[in-house]
Structure 1
Amino acid sequence: MLCDTRLTVRLRQVLERRELKFVFQPIVDLSRADLLGYEALMRGPADTPLHAPEVLLGEARRCGLVRELEMAACTGAMHAFAAQNLPGKLFLNLSGPAIAAFSETEGRDLLRNVAEAGLTPGRLILELTEHERVEDAEALQSAFVALARHGVGLALDDFGDGRSSLRLWAQLKPRVVKVDKFFVHGIHNDRRKVEVLRSILNLSTAFGTAIVAEGVEEAEELSVLRDLGCHFGQGYLFGRPAERPGTTVAEPARKVLDSCKVAVLPNAAPRGDLVETVGRLKVRAPTISVTSTNAELMQLFAQHPDLQAVAVVANEHPIGLMNRRQFVDRFARPYSHELYGRRPCTLFMNDAPLRVEASTPIDALITVLTGDDQRYLYDGFILTENGRYAGLATGESLVRAVTERRIEAARHANPLTFLPGNIPITEHIGRLLGAGGRFAACYFDLNNFKPYNDLYGYWRGDEMIKLAARVIAAQTDPSQDFVGHVGGDDFVVLFQSEDWRERCERVVHTFNTGARALFDAEELARGGFDSEDRRGFRVFFPLTTMAVGVVHASAGQFQSPEEVASAAAAAKKIAKQSGNGIHVAPAVCLHTLPEVAIAVAS
């Protein structure tokens, strides 16, 4: 094996002279805001080419000194850890072969080194690295059976980075699994990462394993991890690797962990069980061959009185569609049977029907509804599987399915403002109530919006709603305030910001000023406009402004999200009637007066 002679000699000197240095990075218990322990990271001598750990390992691999380097690092880290009397557990990085080698002596060599360092085996966690090189999982499992008897734990590193294995997790039964930092970075802005971590946490419950989230750098990331129930965290927010690390949780992290405020999760996607395909619209229907005659087609319709259309097929592939009503009307004309009865059924067919693979998502057909060719509404359309005829579907069922999808999507995110809809709003209120902290539920609504919309049209009305959304969002703190769009001109903000009152006042003032630009000069000069009221009478309305009803919730005041929503809606109603723009409801335990709450809310 060819090696750089100078580096090899220097590496051997480092090992013989025990010149490895060690830094320690804290791992924090998120539920107790306390230290779980530290991960030891080796370094070579400073100001030398071997200082970086990747250079040390690379040279050791080239020269066959990996085992020696790992054992030296393991022993040296234990002594450095014990010398500082650091609290908690010590995480040591070792490859699969190094851990498996302990089975040769049933772990006696490792346990001896632990004792010499003045530690107990129960404080040691061996962190398996380089998972792709685990070729003998059975030997690794045997080694840990022996070590586990003495209390030594096992951790899997970088789970989810493409190298780690769910099979290893299930087979080795580690005490700890570390989630790769990719899934932690920016988790407060990425719903997909939230769902990935939720799935991993569900697995950890099934396997009885603790989860460490690696790479925690932002307070917002930590807030999400804490609220999702992640067990432990590691990253720069808790502390950078240091020769003499702190023995308490860093203040920025402790501030998040001690807070009763809940994280604002990125907006939820519609439920997965509603991601449906067009195949669910399929209606089994007979077909007619391309070689059949019109008389045979007429007989087929007579045999199936409920059949609205028939697909014309050639070698199992649909080539056209025949609408029942159009065909029967044409065939009922005088002499049509004599003239066309023996002619091919392709004579009157629609030779360009809508054909859709049954596996196509329903959402993909939204553009069909706005297309120029609307014949599918009365003809229906053909479903295929790998190009072969599979059945028919009606235009009515397609319109209904797409509408249901849009309604469901709107409950998660408003299609105009893209703000969270009713379901995320309800979920977030539930999380706030569960945390037992204080928050302000604010219900924003526009005064005289409907008559404005009637006068100026939907396009100008949409601009008014989008203005409201921008103004509200601009006055909130996205790290702790949740903004939702109930629908129409109704918005809900769940403030955890202490200065929620000032923020509400700024929203109302900014909107009322900005909304003037959406009126014509004549209405501005008059200070209002003429439009129809709800009874159809032409009346004068003041310019559109904003009103907000506020409920300041505290622990124990409400029992459900519905109670909060009812109280906020009642406060909004008073705000609209008062003309002051803002109404803060007095503190009332709503669940003790359900009849009053319902009456006011209605």
Structure 2
Amino acid sequence: MTVLPVPAPTPVRDPHSVWMLMRERRLLMHWQPLFDLATHDVIGHEALVRTPAGCAWRNPDHLFAAARREGCAMELERVCVQLAATEAGHAGLGLLFVNLSANALAAWTDAPAHTPHGQPDLPLAGVVVELTEHERVRDLAALRDVLARWRAAGAALALDDFGDGHSSLRLWAELRPEYVKIDKYFVRDVHRSGDKTKTIRALQQLADTFGTRLIAEGIETVDELMVLRDLGLTLGQGYLLGRPLPTPCSALPVNVQQALQSRQIWVLPQEPHVIHRGLTAATLLRAAPALPGHASHQDVLELFQRHHDLESVALLDDQQRPVGLITRHTFQEESLHNPYFRELYGRRPAIMHANTQPLCVEIHTPLERLTEVLTSPDQRYLREGFILTENGRYRGLGTSEQLVRRVTEARIEAARHANPLTALPGNVPITQHIERLLHNGQPFVACYADLNHFKVYNDQYGYWRGDGMIRLLARCLTGVCDARLDFVGHVGGDDFVLLMQSGDWLARIERAVHTFNTEAALLYETTARQAGGIWAEDRHGVRRFHPLTTLSVGVVRVDPAHYASAEAVANAAALAKHHAKQGHVGIQILSDVGEGPAHSLVADAAGTAAVSAVAPACQ
């Protein structure tokens, strides 16, 4: 293989010159492996340049910064690619990933060339060019031409650090790379960020559209690795899998292999669900006639008589801008208190009885900002409604009923994703996680937690303290769970669902029951705590003694082969909870035994157990 000639610059005396490093062939290559996370095989290595001992530039960033100052950055890129290709040809590294800026690649028009013996000057078979500096592509046509020749010689293209460059998505569509490397930002702490998991899912859809393989780079922890695996990413790179070293890597570290071999799935972080997203005040718009600002009371009265469903009317100036809002209720009140109201005021301007400072809302205002109206000290807006405008001009009216309905609907929808009291996942993510567990095919435990005698406590002490007890329950449940393997969801009220893969799940639940029962007792007044409960009316109005609130947990050991849907699992867990509450026990376990009857292992908070036959678990 011939070596790219390095142009002779003006003589440089500095022995640490980048030019001198290139001319004297003193640059070194390190190799960082890339792995197939499904097969655990090395698919290739990324070539990373290093400087020799004693060099003034101790890392690649400093080296390339110096090359830019010396005006030889593009030459340095070429030398690094040639050096990597030469060494890789002798080492059998699999795919060879090399970094090139878009401009350096576009300018490399003399490759691939051939030697007099017919051998390629720069062997490109198995080379994957990682395109960097996406935002500074100056000549896309030239870049496509060079890429076509390189691909014909066996090379492939990867977009590096996708998500960091400003034009990456355009380049993805234009260049159709074989690989896209997801920027480290989206990989770092992905197990804690629902936004990042959502972004990666979106990238997977793009990859499917363009026929591209995704590579997650920057994997540094087992938690990140497992979430990426469970999201379906099959290619990875990072310090956890293998650091850049002078010699190639041949296998995954043992601890990483063991983690990937685990059949348990990781609990994915919840994606944020924002209420009202995309909704504006335009959704509240009701077309309604208006009157000029000089309209008389008689004009307003006649308008109300013609439109029986109209509760308010806006008064407008000559530019169609609101100057007042008058309500039907105002007319009715004035007429009731003054039988001569029409005779006295009929010809006089109606604005004298109008609200001259009505609430005016631009139709493009986000709906969440209007929720402030519901809690505003000025409650006139709830009675008379508000005026909707566009660029200050009248468009129609909005009513408090519409606003309350829209906000309620949005909050109900949001609660299906995350309970507003505890911020734990709601019904939608609970169902999604059960489906993931069933699809995984490995046994797991489904638990349904509910409180005994909670309604009486809530009625006796008020909803504020009742909410405090529910938050206590949430803390007790989440506190005993392994956040990576055990999912905790809040169905609503005092109902919680746990989906557990921890091997010591029973000990964890027993600890939650004991902790809750102990701490919940402290929420009662001293006299009630000493008496062991409170006297209060039951739901039938009969006054009787109610014990202190305690926790019951129904448990089902789930074999995915016996359950066709998430609903079936939820029904089985709810049945177990029902038996636990009926039997006044802390924990009740329904074990699925195929066609025969299910059996129950009844355990109290102390952990003692007995076996008894119960109804079959729902299939």
TM-score (norm 2): 0.90
Q: Partners in 2 of 1:455 and 1:588 — Cα distance?
A: 43
SS of aligned partner of 1:408: helix
Q: Partners in 2 of 1:183 and 1:389 — Cα distance?
A: 46
Distance change >3 Å, CA 94–CA 112, structure 1 → 2: farther
Residue matched to 1:98: 104
Q: Partners in 2 of 1:473 and 1:252 — Cα distance?
A: 27
Q: Partners in 2 of 1:368 and 1:535 — Cα distance?
A: 39
The answer to whether the 8 A contact 1:3-1:62 is kept is no
Alignment of 1:167-186 (within 5 A): 167-186=170-189
SS of aligned partner of 1:467: helix
Distance change >3 Å, CA 47–CA 554, structure 1 → 2: farther
1:326 aligns with 2:327: no
Letter matched to residue 478 of structure 2: A
1:425 to 419, 422, 430: 430
Distance change >3 Å, CA 163–CA 513, structure 1 → 2: same
Give 5+ residue unaligned stretches, structure 1: none
SS of aligned partner of 1:570: helix
Residue matched to 1:349: 354
Distance change >3 Å, CA 591–CA 561, structure 1 → 2: farther
Residue matched to 1:214: 217
Q: Among the aligned pairs, what percent are the same residue?
A: 46
1:355: how far off? 2.3
Q: Partners in 2 of 1:438 and 1:114 — Cα distance?
A: 57
1:268 aligns with 2:274: no
1:583: how far off? 0.7
Tell me the matched-pair count. Answer: 594
1:450 aligns with 2:435: no
Alignment of 1:130-279 (within 5 A): 130-270=133-273, 275-279=278-282
Distance change >3 Å, CA 381–CA 67, structure 1 → 2: closer
Letter matched to residue 380 of structure 1: G
Residue matched to 2:389: 384
Letter matched to residue 89 of structure 1: L
Alignment of 1:183-582 (within 5 A): 183-270=186-273, 275-314=278-317, 315-331=319-335, 333-582=338-587
Q: Partners in 2 of 1:417 and 1:69 — Cα distance?
A: 56
Q: Partners in 2 of 1:146 and 1:436 — Cα distance?
A: 47
Distance change >3 Å, CA 140–CA 116, structure 1 → 2: closer
Distance change >3 Å, CA 590–CA 243, structure 1 → 2: farther
Letter matched to residue 81 of structure 2: C
The answer to whether the 8 A contact 2:112-2:124 is kept is no
Q: Partners in 2 of 1:230 and 1:112 — Cα distance?
A: 43
Q: Partners in 2 of 1:539 and 1:381 — Cα distance?
A: 50
The answer to whether the 8 A contact 1:454-1:531 is kept is no
The answer to whether the 8 A contact 2:134-2:165 is kept is no
The answer to whether the 8 A contact 2:157-2:178 is kept is yes
Q: What is the RMSD computed on CA atoms of the aligned residues?
A: 2.7
1:338: how far off? 2.3
Residue matched to 1:89: 95
Distance change >3 Å, CA 599–CA 251, structure 1 → 2: closer
Q: Partners in 1 of 2:213 and 2:25 — Cα distance?
A: 34
Residue matched to 1:45: 52
Residue matched to 2:72: 65
Q: Partners in 1 of 2:151 and 2:224 — Cα distance?
A: 33
Letter matched to residue 31 of structure 1: A
Structure number with the higher helix fraction is 1
1:163: how far off? 4.0
Letter matched to residue 436 of structure 1: G
Letter matched to residue 448 of structure 1: H
Q: Partners in 2 of 1:31 and 1:188 — Cα distance?
A: 19
Q: Partners in 1 of 2:11 and 2:548 — Cα distance?
A: 82
Q: Partners in 1 of 2:384 and 2:160 — Cα distance?
A: 58
SS of aligned partner of 1:41: strand
Distance change >3 Å, CA 258–CA 110, structure 1 → 2: farther
1:128: how far off? 1.0
The answer to whether the 8 A contact 1:3-1:63 is kept is no
Q: Partners in 1 of 2:421 and 2:10 — Cα distance?
A: 64
Further displaced range: 136-145 or 365-374 = 365-374
Q: Partners in 1 of 2:142 and 2:342 — Cα distance?
A: 83
Q: Partners in 2 of 1:576 and 1:113 — Cα distance?
A: 83
Q: Partners in 1 of 2:73 and 2:268 — Cα distance?
A: 44
Letter matched to residue 226 of structure 1: R
1:279: how far off? 1.1
Per-residue CA shift, 1:370-419, capped at 9, x if unaligned? Answer: 22222233312111222222211111111111111111111111111111
1:514: how far off? 0.8
Letter matched to residue 310 of structure 1: V
SS of aligned partner of 2:47: strand
The answer to whether the 8 A contact 1:558-1:591 is kept is no
Distance change >3 Å, CA 274–CA 50, structure 1 → 2: closer
Per-residue CA shift, 1:19-47, capped at 9, x if unaligned? Answer: 11111111122333322211110011122
1:13: how far off? 2.9
1:548: how far off? 0.5
Give 5+ residue unaligned stretches, structure 2: 1-8, 599-613
1:3: how far off? 9.3
TM-score (norm 1): 0.93
SS of aligned partner of 1:505: helix
